[in-house]
Structure 1
Amino acid sequence: MKNVILIVLLAIGASGFAQDPEMIGTWYLRAFTADLSDPVFITNNDAPQNPTLIVYSDYSFEGIGACNTFTGQFQYDPVEEVYFHTSFIPTTDDCGDPGYNTFEDGYFAHFDDTLGLFLRYVPIGSGLLLLEIESPGFGMEFQDTVFLGVDENPISLINIYPTITSEYVNVSKPTSIAIEKAIVYNSLGQPVLSVSENIERIDVSSLSKGMYFLQIDSEEGSMTKKFIKG
């Protein structure tokens, strides 16, 4: 079964799906995600170096996990406007550490054709990329700079609640972080709400029911959270 990889371009004024040059480049894994739960950020205990995913202009890709490398290929269908995941070839060395091996198995499983996974790539702005398995909602977050670890990234302490709401989304953060702006995107990657004041309590009552991404921008960087408007 082919993996189908949807590209959602979250650029101001963009609409629909299109072949996405923003996907090209070097991406550094920073967290695993599970449905509406907070991201689980990777640490040096998971891998001796920052795992990567590099996508080239011909949409071939390569990367590294804990110790093994991989190559693969995406194929673009201009009619369906999707990317088909046509190959994934990893090396299979023992990383010499049970924790590294377990971490790498989980990382590589997201690319494994034999699992018949349905994936989509969602550029979520400000140098962040989400690779998400549609069902049951697991995925990975990447960023375009080397991930330094949770202790050096205070924005990882930003949270939102409730994650299923009909009226308001509350934002909690350390007092040392000043939030500059929050942008809500729909599941098609279109901005539907922008807030620059009273960001700690965002009124989403006017939004239609469905899944949304809340991008929170600060001087320290950006953090994106997912919520459901009920």
Structure 2
Amino acid sequence: MKTLYILLTIIIFQTSVAQDPRLFENDWYLYEVMSTDLGTHYDVSSINPPIAPYLRISENLNFNGEGACNTFSGVYEYSPGYLGSIIFTYSTEDCNIQQHNSFENEYFGFISGGYTYTITENNQGKIFSLSSPLMGHAVFKSYPLSTSNFQKNKFQLYPNPVKNELFLTSLNNAGNLKLKIFNLESRLLSIQSLNFEKQTSIDVSHLSSGIYFLNIEDETGNTAIKMFIKA
């Protein structure tokens, strides 16, 4: 009996150590979410009236958060680099704003599933990226959404879907930028540095057909992520 107790203690200890402590260190503020099935994309900074969706994960893998007007909670299963929701409940109030209701349908549908994750850092804090080939992609950060000049640039991609050449445009000159292309598995495929002046072109002819993400980062660590489809 004593041996069994010791073994159980070791297993519990190893399980707790195996968890990623970065998941629990702060609240995660949603910046954008994209649905693979629907092909829809929500940049939280462009939703009006403004909202502040977030995700909070505790050390026992319980989680909770908020969308536009409703809240949710649940329990995750965990393995290194992966989170899967095994329990998910949410409130069902009508937000009375169509864009808010549509956003919540997509956000709650995504967050209730399973996904791989990565956590990276810039000079403002941490970036928590979730990806699922079936469900889509979501980006959270450890600091609240702001309406900085970088966010106000309102980057746009066209054509989308694209065959060979993708154009990135902005309302303003954004200065020195770093452009990174990731696939649905969060694998970095290419990186390009340039001095951006309202428009540039990106050669994507070498990419296979599928869904990709363009990470746009300035010199101070501000980021924007855009989804595009390679035809």
Fold-level similarity (TM above 0.5): yes
Alpha-carbon distance, 1:94 to partner: 5.6
CA root-mean-square deviation: 3.8
Distance of aligned partners of 1:173 and 1:94 in 2 relative to their CA distance in 1, 3 Å threshold: closer
Q: Distance in 2 between matches of 1:147 and 1:72?
A: 24
Q: 1:74 maps to which residue?
A: 76
Structure 1 gaps of 5+ residues are 1-17, 113-117
Q: 1:10 maps to which residue?
A: none
Distance of aligned partners of 1:104 and 1:186 in 2 relative to their CA distance in 1, 3 Å threshold: closer
Alpha-carbon distance, 1:119 to partner: 4.3
Q: Aligned runs of 1:64-103 on 2, under 5 Å?
A: 64-66=66-68, 68-77=70-79, 82-90=82-90, 92=91, 98-99=96-97, 102=101
Is 2:49 the partner of 1:45?
yes
Alpha-carbon distance, 1:74 to partner: 0.7
Q: Aligned runs of 1:202-221 on 2, under 5 Å?
A: 202-219=202-219, 221=222
* Superimposed CA distance per residue, residues 133-177 of structure 1 (whole angstroms, 9 cap, x where no aligned partner): 755x6665433211135888224x011222333322221112232
Question: After the TM superposition, which of the residue ranges 165-174 and 142-151 deviates more from structure 2?
Answer: 142-151
Is the Cα–Cα contact under 8 Å of residues 62 and 70 in structure 1 kept in the other structure? yes
Query: Which residue of the other structure, out of 115, 120, 138, is the alignment partner of 1:120?
Result: 115
* Superimposed CA distance per residue, residues 71-96 of structure 1 (whole angstroms, 9 cap, x where no aligned partner): 32111257xx7433111244x4868x
Is 2:156 the partner of 1:153?
no
Q: 1:163 maps to which residue?
A: 160
Q: 2:229 maps to which residue?
A: 228
Query: How many aligned positions are there?
Result: 200
Distance of aligned partners of 1:206 and 1:71 in 2 relative to their CA distance in 1, 3 Å threshold: same
Is the Cα–Cα contact under 8 Å of residues 33 and 141 in structure 1 kept in the other structure? no
Distance of aligned partners of 1:169 and 1:84 in 2 relative to their CA distance in 1, 3 Å threshold: same
Q: Name the structure with the higher helix share.
A: 2
* Superimposed CA distance per residue, residues 43-95 of structure 1 (whole angstroms, 9 cap, x where no aligned partner): 46254xx22101234432122345554332111257xx7433111244x4868
Is 2:171 the partner of 1:174?
yes
Query: Which residue of the other structure, out of 183, 186, 189, is the alignment partner of 2:186?
Result: 189
Structure 1 counterpart of 2:65, which letter? Answer: G
Give aligned-pair identity as a percent.
25
Alpha-carbon distance, 1:27 to partner: 1.2
Q: Distance in 2 between matches of 1:205 and 1:67?
A: 42
Q: Name the structure with the higher strand share.
A: 2
TM value normalised by structure 2: 0.64
* Superimposed CA distance per residue, residues 94-151 of structure 1 (whole angstroms, 9 cap, x where no aligned partner): 68x6349847853445445xxxxx542554855444556755x666543321113588
Structure 2 gaps of 5+ residues are 1-17
TM value normalised by structure 1: 0.65
Higher Cα radius of gyration: 2
Q: Distance in 2 between matches of 1:69 and 1:38?
A: 21
Alpha-carbon distance, 1:180 to partner: 1.9
Question: After the TM superposition, which of the residue ranges 22-31 and 172-181 deviates more from structure 2?
Answer: 22-31
